[in-house]
Amino acid sequence: MASIRPLGNRYRAFVKVDGRRATKVFDTKRAALAWAQEQEAQLAGTELPDKTLEEAFKRYSDEVTPGKRGGHWDRVRIARFIREDRIAKRRILSLSQNDMAEWRDARLKLVKPATVAREMNLISAVLEVARLEWRWLKESPMRDVKQPPKPKGRARRISPEEVEALAQAFDVWDTLKTDTQRHRVGLAFLFALETAMRSGEICELRWTDVHLDERYVTVRTSKNGDSRDVPLTARAVQILRALPLGFGPVFGLSASKRDGLFRKVRDGVPTIANLHFHDARAEAVWRLSKKLDILELARVIGHRNLSSLLIYYRATAAELAKKLA
Q: Which residues of 178-215 are buried (b: 16+ CB within 10 A; e: fewer)?
A: beebbbbbbbbbbbbbbbbbbbbbbbbbebebbeeeee
The residue annotated as part of the active site, out of 278, 287, 304, 314, is: 278
Is 223 a known active-site residue? yes
The residue annotated as part of the active site, out of 20, 69, 223, 264, is: 223
Find how far residue 132's CA is from the centre of its chain.
23
Residue type (1 letter), 143: R
Is 291 a known active-site residue? no
Find how far residue 73's CA is from the centre of its chain.
8
The residue annotated as part of the active site, out of 77, 198, 228, 266, is: 198
Q: Could you give the CA distance from residue 36 to residue 42 in angstroms, rounded to a whole number?
A: 10
**CB atoms near residue 298 (< 10 Å):** 16
**CB atoms near residue 259 (< 10 Å):** 16
Is 211 a known active-site residue? no
- Whole-Å CA distances, 98 to 23, 30, 101, 245: 22, 8, 5, 56
Is 198 a known active-site residue? yes
- Phi first, then psi: give them for residue 156, nearest 5 degrees: -80, 115
The residue annotated as part of the active site, out of 30, 183, 266, 281, is: 281
Question: What amino acid positions are annotated as catalytic residues?
Answer: 198, 223, 278, 281, 303, 312
